[in-house]
Chain A
Amino acid sequence: MSGSLIFAWSGVLLFGLGLFGFIAHRHLLRRLLAFNIMGSGAFLVLVGLAQDGRGVDPLPQAMVITGIVVAVASTALALVIFRRWYRTSGRTDLPEDT
């Protein structure tokens, strides 16, 4: 078992945990946190698998560094939207589409 596989499996585990949190929780902040954990898992898979014994592949690393900055910005945007939603509705979750 190689080192890159340990990173990739940790990433997959994080992704699964995040997915569970995303489904199980209703509170929008918890969902956002779970979504970020999913994203971190995906980044870890990308970076972990980039080492395949022929040297480090710079493509996934470049993708992950842009991805991290986009993830931070989108999280901040989501927080702006949540706050606006809470101020107008007083709810911390979205109504069901029934």
Chain B
Amino acid sequence: MSLRTLSAALLCIGITVALGWAVLDRPFPQENVPERVTSAMPESGVDHPITAVLLNFRSYDTLLEIAVLLLAVVVALALREAQPDRPEQMGLENPLLRAVMAWLLPLILIVAGFLLWAGAYQPGGAFQAGSVLAAAGVLLRLAGVTTAWLDNATLMRAGLALGLLTFLGIGLLVMIPGAPFLTYPLEYAGTLILVIELTLTLSIGLTLISLFRLTPPYADDPDEAREQEAEETP
């Protein structure tokens, strides 16, 4: 064991012990947050406290989080190299996967829809539904299924930006009657949250799918890549 590893291990053990102590010796929170959230629930427009926190009480955090996701995709798109993006060549040579996809895809879509709808009154919501949608997209890609609308760059970008734009648009729209940014009027809160969640689900799913699709199987090894390029440009 080198000196470097040993000192790293000692440092990490020290930090772990200190953090463990800090967790044990933490100050008790003065504010009773669960009670405050419960008492504010009738104003939120939904029946589940986590969804209420995510999309009403602290929707600013969620808005910025969607902006971060969009930024990650934009950077990944910018770093994309010119590459032969032919979907029929990207899949695994596995007929079983294709056959199973036909069974799985409707199920996945139903589960995503249910998770989105369930978010209003039990654990679930846009993030979970978006992740399930992304799983469907990844499976489609692995099975080598051609999806014309996913390869349409304009549609894809519109879908990626849709969640953030809708969220921002609704946040700004409520300012017209004079409410502060992102403060939904009580009678429309439920509908507005549902619209935001729908578009967020789509955008989160597309974000994760396109992050996966931006790294197609391709020769990573620099020498091999040069050989491939030489073959392609005679």
Contacts and interface: CB of A to CB of B under 8 A. Distances in A.
Please report whether the interface of chain B is mostly helix, strand, loop or mixed according to DSSP: helix
Contacts of A55: 34-35, 38
Interface string A41-56: 0000100010010111
B218 to A, nearest CB: 8
Contacts of A28: none
Contacts of B15: 16, 19
B129 to A, nearest CB: 11
B65 interface: yes
A18 B224 CA distance: 33
B163 to A, nearest CB: 12
A70 interface: yes
Interface in B178-220: 204, 207-208, 211-212, 214-215, 220
A77 B29 contact: no
B208 A76 contact: yes
Given A54-B35, A76-B211, A20 B23 contact: no
Interface in A30-62: 45, 49, 52, 54-59, 61-62
A88 B75 CA distance: 17
Contacts of B207: 73
A31 B107 CA distance: 36
Interface in A1-27: 5, 8-9, 12-13, 15-17, 19-20, 23-24
Interface string B30-41: 001111011000
B214 A16 contact: no
A89 B128 CA distance: 37
Interface residues of B, number: 57
Interface stretch (B47-55, B86-94, B149-157, B167-175): B47-55
Given A52-B29, A70-B65, A87-B222, A16 B79 contact: no
Interface string B6-30: 0011011101100110011010110
B81 A87 contact: yes
Which secondary structure characterizes the binding site on chain A?
A: helix
Given A5-B24, A69-B127, A80 B65 contact: no
A66 interface: yes
Given A24-B8, A24-B9, A62-B61, 16 more contacts: A5-B23, A15-B19, A49-B26, A54-B32, A56-B34, A58-B37, A59-B53, A61-B53, A69-B131, A72-B131, A73-B68, A73-B72, A73-B211, A77-B211, A86-B220, A86-B222
14 contacts: A5-B24, A16-B13, A56-B49, A57-B34, A59-B33, A62-B50, A65-B50, A66-B61, A68-B127, A69-B204, A70-B69, A72-B131, A79-B215, A80-B75
The 10 closest A-B pairs by CB, nearest first: A16-B16, A55-B34, A76-B211, A20-B12, A58-B49, A23-B8, A62-B53, A90-B222, A73-B72, A66-B65
Interface of A: 5, 8-9, 12-13, 15-17, 19-20, 23-24, 45, 49, 52, 54-59, 61-63, 65-66, 68-70, 72-74, 76-77, 79-81, 83-84, 86-90
